């Protein structure tokens, strides 16, 4: 079985500050990990993914995430928040070919 | 040139009615999905089709019936709509096995409101 826990349903940062969105997973086999972003009234868009290889992965819009097996974590970061980053962020884990399991989401608010 | 398109974008209907949501993808993907996102933004898979064959059928009331006429289309028909069916329904697609390495491509969603 696989599961995802996103710590903090709401995160608020000031523009220009570091963004850190937390994701921990549970999986009995090596996981494939994803972050998606959902802007208001839109579908989910893939931000970045970890499959194999380098544990630090870079995605779109300046985001990156690091896979830490020992901590079963895949936290999402961005050095400097922009107003346009305000959105809902979902972490997902996939160990089966058929489907991903999503976390409950984290709402990111960026204050001017 | 939208990759995964859903229609309609908004759907308001009365309890007891039957409605359909259509989805089409032009990415050449083999597998298509329906996800439900509730008011708290929780995402839950409902169905998955691979090349017109049903491969995932989660615990969904049998009032919900997916239909895939070809691998580029996956429609969702809902009978006897209930208030609790109000949600945003997302269609998604991926290559067979590609959801592992490439993830999903999502449509923009259909907001269903049952009154």
Please answer whether residues A82 and A22 qualify as being in contact, where contact means their C-beta atoms are separated by less than 8 angstroms. no
Task: Sort out which chain A residues have CB atoms less than 8 A from B40's CB and list them.
Answer: 104
- Contact of A3 with chain B, judged by CB distance below 8 Å, is answered with no
Give the model's pLDDT for residue A28.
Answer: 77
A73 SS3 class: strand
Question: DSSP letters along A41-60, please?
Answer: TS-EEEEEEE-SS-SEEE-G
Going by pLDDT thresholds of 50, 70 and 90, the confidence category of residue B99 is low
Residue range B74-94, pLDDT digits in tens: 999 999 999 999 999 999 998
Please answer whether residues A4 and A25 qualify as being in contact, where contact means their C-beta atoms are separated by less than 8 angstroms. yes
Does A104 sit within 8 Å of B100, measured CB to CB? no
What's the rounded Cα separation, in Å, for the pair B54 and B45?
Answer: 13
| A29 to A1, A7, B26: CA distances (angstroms) | 9, 22, 33
Here the tokens at position A93 are: 């884990």
Max Cα-Cα span within chain B: 41
Task: Sort out which chain B residues have CB atoms less than 8 A from A51's CB and list them.
Answer: 100-101
- Contact of A51 with chain B, judged by CB distance below 8 Å, is answered with yes
Task: Sort out which chain A residues have CB atoms less than 8 A from B109's CB and list them.
Answer: 41-43
What's the rounded Cα separation, in Å, for the pair B8 and B2?
Answer: 14
- Contact of B54 with chain A, judged by CB distance below 8 Å, is answered with no
Give the long-range contacts of residues B64-68, CB within 8 A, separation 24 or more: B66/B34, B68/B32
Cα angle B107, B111, B115; round to 5 = 160
Residue range A71-97, pLDDT digits in tens: 999 999 999 999 999 999 999 998 665
Task: Sort out which chain A residues have CB atoms less than 8 A from B90's CB and list them.
Answer: 43-44
Task: Kindly state the percentage of chain A with pLDDT values over 90.
Answer: 78
Give the one of B41, B48, B106 whose C-beta lies nearest to A43's C-beta: B106
Using the predicted structure, report yes or no on whether residue A13 has a pLDDT greater than 70: yes
Give the model's pLDDT for residue B97.
Answer: 63
Does B102 sit within 8 Å of A49, measured CB to CB? yes
> What torsion, rounded to 10 degrees, do the Cα atoms A76, A82, A87, A88 define?
10
Q: pLDDT: is B103 or B72 the higher one?
A: B72
| A106 to A11, A76, B44: CA distances (angstroms) | 7, 11, 16
Task: Sort out which chain A residues have CB atoms less than 8 A from B41's CB and list them.
Answer: 38, 88, 104-105
Using the predicted structure, report yes or no on whether residue A33 has a pLDDT greater than 70: yes
- Contact of A105 with chain B, judged by CB distance below 8 Å, is answered with yes
């Amino acid at each position: 079985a696989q599961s995802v826990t996103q710590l903090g349903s709401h995160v608020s940062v000031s523009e220009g500050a570091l963004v850190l969105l937390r994701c921990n997973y549970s999986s009995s086999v090596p996981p494939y990990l994803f972050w998606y972003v959902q802007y208001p009234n839109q579908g989910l868009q893939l931000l970045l993914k970890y499959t194999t290889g380098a544990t630090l992965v870079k995605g779109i819009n300046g985001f990156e995430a690091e896979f830490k097996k020992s901590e079963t974590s895949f936290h999402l970061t961005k050095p400097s928040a922009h107003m346009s980053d305000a959105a809902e962020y979902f972490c997902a884990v996939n160990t089966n070919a058929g489907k991903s399991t999503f976390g409950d989401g984290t709402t990111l608010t960026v204050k001017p | 040139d939208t990759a995964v398109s859903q229609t309609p974008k908004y759907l308001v209907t009365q309890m007891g009615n039957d409605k359909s949501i259509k989805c089409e993808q032009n990415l050449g993907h083999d597998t298509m999905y329906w996800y439900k996102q509730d008011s708290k933004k929780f995402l839950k898979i409902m169905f998955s089709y691979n090349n017109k064959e049903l491969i995932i059928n989660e615990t969904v009331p049998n009032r919900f019936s997916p239909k895939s006429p070809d691998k580029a289309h996956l429609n969702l028909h809902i009978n006897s709509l209930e208030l609790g069916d109000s949600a945003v329904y997302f269609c998604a697609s991926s290559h067979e096995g590609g959801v592992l390495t490439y993830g999903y491509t999502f449509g923009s969603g259909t907001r269903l409101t049952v009154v």
